[in-house]
A and B are shown apart, each in its own frame.
Chain A
Amino acid sequence: MSQSAADVLARSELEPLERPRFRAVPYLLEMQAELLQTWRQPSFSIPTLLFPAMFYFFFGIVFGQSNGYSSYLLATYGAFGVIGTALFGFGVSVAVARESGEMLLKRVAPVPPGAFLAGKMTSSLVFSGLVLAELFGLAAIFGGVRFERGEWIGLAAALLLGSLPFAALGLAIGTYASGNGAPAIINLIYLPTAFLSGLWIPIQVLPEFLQKLAVVLPPYHLSQLALGVVGRSVGQPVALHVGVLLAMTAVCLLVAARGFRR
């Protein structure tokens, strides 16, 4: 992502003399600042950390245990959790940074442009990791969920990696939306698509035309990848899911690059 058009542009303005060597320190500092900033922003961290676990507890454990779908819903609420973290973590904070002038400051500061993204990415992964830790813990302790070791690890890996396309989507939204508008826009996209993708209740329960419609929704593909790890996907090819997610990533990055250039 550090090779986006915006970065090249920024670099050409600021460092016309020589290409700097890669140095880790600015990246690390940006990560630290980002983590602290996110953590100290309860309006982001509390809903992000609590809502997926709360929803999973109600739907996946209180309701789900007697019906035996605690393990199914762990995969879908896991997708719900990491998607929310990525969308809000990127979308809202980029919009706010743009509006407050922080972004401008960063552009003129002698910081490699990639550090900004690396910082956001790190904080998004850390928060996604925390969300998954909560969900897995609830599932194992209260939901009676039992997976093979490889399935636990595969599920965590699929969800963490799978959050990255949604980070790109968040970025694209953040480059256009205003700081106040971003949360609303993200919720308008996030919540309905989560439902229609079968993240809250299993996709099989939705009316058939909605099941067919879900194929165009990216969260559906992430949830199918996660469900595939634990043997509960509807059986479409993995390449389809990965392809849709990669395509969305590419489109979002292009949109974000245009947005940055504005």
Chain B
Amino acid sequence: MTHSPDSSKAHSDNTLDDVPSGGRVLGFLVAFFAVMIAGLFALPTPTEESQVAAGDGDSADGSFAILGVRAFDGEKMLTEVDLLVTAGRIAAVGPGLEIPEGVARIDGAGQTVMPGLIDAHVHSWGSARSDAVRFGVTTMLDHFTGLDEVTAARQDREAGGATDRSDLFSAGTLATVEGGHGTQYGVAVDTVDSVEEVPEWVAARIAEGSDWIKIVVEPGWREGINTLDMERVSALIREAHARDVLAVVHVSRLDDALAVTELGADGLVHVWRDRIPTAAEVEVFKASGIFVIPTLVVAEGMADPSPSMAMAEGEWGTRLSDAQRAGLNQRFPAEAALPMDVPKESVRLLYEAGVPILAGSDAPNPATAMGLSQHRELALLVESGLSPLAALVAGTRTPAVAFKLGGPARGTLEVGAIADLVLVDGDPSLDIAATRRLTDVFKAGRRINLAASASTAEEIVAAAPEETLLSDFEDGLKTRYGFGWGETTDSIRGGASVATLTVTDGALVVTGEIKAGAMFPWAGAVVFPGPGAMEPVDLSARSELRFRVRGDGRTYTAMLFSGDMTGIPPTRTFSADGEWQTVVFALDSFNRADPSTVRGVAFTAGNPSGSFRFELDDVEIR
């Protein structure tokens, strides 16, 4: 400290007043903290992004033209054409079009316009349809989902097509047996228990709105699994055909594929993984006219998810919704891994024989993501021996033709077709990876906001049901309202914990084991009070979560999923000892939870490692 002479003589009663005023530092401090506080107000909050997404604009009357663009029309490449869209449909395609005044123009130089991709094998729920469309998949063919999804998809289509999400066609539920593949997801499935039931079962599906019938022939993935016998498969195919709908079959072995082909199946929704077919066997498929959706990307993900994970880096990573990222981060058990040479070589033989190949991802299985995985599937088809152009056909026109998706000309650029369009940089008929350089997606002529938050902005929130009691477990795992119960574990975060749900003596018994692996290991049960898994329901009029519990003395966690799911969900803890006790948590005691969009409630065990067991009963949100 120096004491320089200063003009201030105000404090003449003090001998040490000849000092600088200190005003500079005061100014600095005020400015510093003002900037800091202003900075706090500039930080992003969960709601701001949805507002931005909702404000996305379009050309005034919805007409636009893409000029001087390379075009893939569903079959072949056209160079240097113009494409005009009016009223959500393709109005004209050709070189040197006359573009009316007032129509928005997009310079297509160096780019390729193509029909929106069709993913021929998905399981759609939650944000799947809006997630897929941001990656250029404008139509999806679903092979097992809930009834609400089927109904909503049909309504959208009947209203002239969605403009902010993919169109969806669906098999609805699937044909399987008690304890067979498809029953492990905690969703009630109407099983086909005898051949006599078949006509009634198919009629019920068509009444529900299924667009085709999906049949499961799966003897393999776990010891002691049940599957349909060929008598019932045959009856299902015949019944479907009698009612003029397609019958497609899930197989994993070549022998089953041959058997169902001979029974008249219209398509296989996976390629087999056990052996390469002989020439004679390929001829069986060729002669039958059956089509194949290889879903190579899901098979690849079992052995090596790294190509899919690599696609989620960089700019695409920022476009992923939480649901997409969660799917990608999930893993199949290691024993599911098989070499890719059998499926790839089989696809090559089928393709060269002329069997129609359809691109489909089987998202959102582990290591896949809606939309994104379809681009990997296209690349895998090229790796199997299809030309890039043939892979594009497999991802656009072929699925539309094979599933008779009907006019006007889905998967093509024909005049009159719904303007579901994708614009990419480069030429995907030379390099299939060009499909990943998406610059624009149009759904029914409307530009899609490619940012991830678009998916949550316009989500429909289900109204609150009248009942408050979710489950008393007197009637199995059923819920009085909502989507139902399921297991939840840290496997989606790379963990190894396991959980099993059983209903015994009118209570839900949750057993399992916490294993090291994930950052926050967890395992337990989750219930979805909304219409689908993680779909929101408005429970803002409810005030508490109430349930009865007993267990092994461990501490457990109740977790409430709600809102836009950007943060880590809030939790409350409870302990469960040998005596039944009633636990009540006020909904507003879950920090930051949004009761107007409740998506799920999980009851889980966490650290320390080891086995756990608890029982739940009378779970209620009231």
The interface of chain A, by Cβ under 8 A from chain B, is: 20, 23-33, 35, 66-69, 71-72, 109-111, 122, 126, 129, 132-133, 136-137, 140, 144-149, 151-153, 156, 201-202, 204-205, 207-208, 211, 230-232, 235
Q: Would you give the shortest CB distance from A171 to chain B, in whole angstroms?
A: 20
Q: Would you give the shortest CB distance from A62 to chain B, in whole angstroms?
A: 12
Residue B306 at the A interface, CB < 8 A? no
Closest to A31 in B: B25
Closest to B566 in A: A146
Closest to A153 in B: B40
Contacts of B20 in A (CB 8 A): 25, 29
Do A232 and B11 form a contact, CB below 8 Å, given A32-B25, A69-B519, A136-B43? no
Residue B234 at the A interface, CB < 8 A? no
Select which of B329, B567, B570 is within 8 A of A66 by beta carbon.
B329
Select which of A24, A110, A137, A147 is within 8 A of B567 by beta carbon.
A147
Q: Complex: how many Å from CA A148 to CA B20? A: 43
Q: Contacting chain A: which of B26-34, B174-182, B395-403, B534-542?
A: B26-34
| Chain B 42-59 near chain A by CB (<8 Å), digits 1 or 0 | 011110010000000000
Residue B19 at the A interface, CB < 8 A? yes
Select which of A29, A109, A145, A149 is within 8 A of B22 by beta carbon.
A29
Residue B157 at the A interface, CB < 8 A? no
Contacts of A111 in B (CB 8 A): 1
Q: Complex: how many Å from CA A26 to CA B14? A: 13
Q: How many positions in chain B have a CB within 8 Å of any CB in the partner chain?
A: 43
Task: Tell me if B592 and A26 are in contact (CB < 8 A).
Answer: no
Q: Would you give the shortest CB distance from A73 to chain B, in whole angstroms?
A: 10
Residue B591 at the A interface, CB < 8 A? yes
Contacts of B518 in A (CB 8 A): 67
Task: Tell me if B36 and A133 are in contact (CB < 8 A).
Answer: yes
Q: Complex: how many Å from CA A261 to CA B456? A: 63
CB under 8 Å from chain A, chain B span 595-622: 606-608
Select which of A145, A149, A204, A208 is within 8 A of B520 by beta carbon.
A204
A sample of 24 inter-chain contacts (CB < 8 A) reads A23-B11, A24-B22, A26-B19, A28-B23, A31-B22, A31-B25, A32-B22, A35-B28, A71-B568, A110-B16, A126-B29, A129-B32, A133-B36, A146-B46, A147-B45, A148-B45, A148-B592, A156-B40, A201-B519, A202-B519, A202-B520, A204-B607, A231-B591, A231-B592
Residue B325 at the A interface, CB < 8 A? yes
Q: Would you give the shortest CB distance from A195 to chain B, in whole angstroms?
A: 15
Do A28 and B608 form a contact, CB below 8 Å, given A69-B519, A129-B32, A153-B40? no
The interface of chain B, by Cβ under 8 A from chain A, is: 1, 11, 14, 16, 19-26, 28-29, 32-33, 36, 39-41, 43-46, 49, 325, 329, 493-494, 518-520, 566-568, 570, 572-573, 591-592, 606-608
Select which of A25, A148, A208, A232 is within 8 A of B21 by beta carbon.
A25
Contacts of A32 in B (CB 8 A): 22, 24-25, 28
Q: Complex: how many Å from CA A72 to CA B33? A: 25
Closest to B329 in A: A66
Q: Would you give the shortest CB distance from B326 to chain A, in whole angstroms?
A: 9
Q: Complex: how many Å from CA A173 to CA B25? A: 28
Q: Complex: how many Å from CA A174 to CA B329? A: 48
Contacts of A23 in B (CB 8 A): 11, 14
Q: Would you give the shortest CB distance from A163 to chain B, in whole angstroms?
A: 14
Q: Complex: how many Å from CA A213 to CA B592? A: 29
Closest to A72 in B: B568
Do A133 and B592 form a contact, CB below 8 Å, given A72-B568, A146-B44, A146-B566? no
Task: Tell me if A208 and B607 are in contact (CB < 8 A).
Answer: yes
Q: Would you give the shortest CB distance from B328 to chain A, in whole angstroms?
A: 9
Q: Complex: how many Å from CA A80 to CA B11? A: 44
Closest to B309 in A: A66
Q: Complex: how many Å from CA A31 to CA B567? A: 39
Do A129 and B33 form a contact, CB below 8 Å, given A140-B44, A152-B40? yes
Closest to A27 in B: B22
Q: Complex: how many Å from CA A148 to CA B518? A: 27
Which of A29, A31, A151, A208 is the most central at the interface, judged by chain B CB atoms within 10 Å of its CB? Answer: A29
Task: Tell me if A149 and B1 are in contact (CB < 8 A).
Answer: no
Task: Tell me if A29 and B46 are in contact (CB < 8 A).
Answer: no
Q: Would you give the shortest CB distance from B178 to chain A, in whole angstroms?
A: 37
Q: Complex: how many Å from CA A238 to CA B327? A: 37
Q: Would you give the shortest CB distance from A115 to chain B, in whole angstroms?
A: 10
